[in-house]
Structure 1
């Protein structure tokens, strides 16, 4: 799923850039250059949204970029991330011991087989 949020980029006296998200209090990052700041902004947004989703917290609706008024040393930019939920998770499954022994002897990856079988069963 795609998420796009306005971010405030603030130029610091040492040349670094601090990034904050008005809609995501506490989501802060920093970059040494503009390119690095954009990269760090996307990483921070991705990790924040993933945290909210994992914690089953509501994901705030992004503000209209026009509603955010930057100060003299700031600019506003939209930052995009895509959360695919492809991260592997652990599940406990039960299979007969004899089947586990045969699979081990054959060097079969139970995770891969389970993934393939679920994809086929679900048509995805």
Structure 2
């Protein structure tokens, strides 16, 4: 899932930035510079939205960039994130699944050294269009 939300970037001391997302409660971060700030903003936004998805919470509609007034030493910019990519990077714990196949198929695959986990993963990715 790809999302785009406005963020308020506030310039701090020594070139650092603090960033918050007005559409979410408790969604904020900081960066050592502007480039780091954007990276950190993408990460915290993906983390927040992944939590919403996992908990089945309603994801808010993004505010219009023009409706947010930043003030001095601040600017508003959109931040994009992809929660599927975030999950791939941060949620790679192996999960054991039990499955049933015919004995003859098991024997043939085992004889040919087929990795059942790899086959299942590839088939699921293909079926899900990932």
TM-score tier by shorter-chain length is 0.7 to 0.9
Structure 2 counterpart SS, 1:95: coil
Q: How does 1:43-122 map to 2 (within 5 A)?
A: 43-84=43-84, 87=88, 90=95, 92-95=97-100, 107-118=113-124, 122=127
**Greater helix proportion:** 2
Structure 2 length-normalised TM: 0.76
Structure 1, unaligned runs of 5 or more: none
Counterpart for residue 24 of structure 1:
24
Q: How many residues align?
A: 123
- Per the normalisation by structure 1, the TM-score is 0.79
Q: Classify the secondary structure of the residue corresponding to 2:84.
A: coil
Question: How much does 1:92 deviate?
Answer: 2.4
CA RMSD, 1 decimal: 2.9
Q: What is the distance in 1 between the residues matched to 2:31 and 2:124?
A: 41
Query: Mind listing any 5+ residue stretches in structure 2 that lack a counterpart?
Result: none
- Write the deviation string for residues 42-75 of structure 1: whole angstroms up to 9, x where unpaired: 1111111111111111111100011100010110
CA offset at residue 90 of structure 1? Answer: 2.4
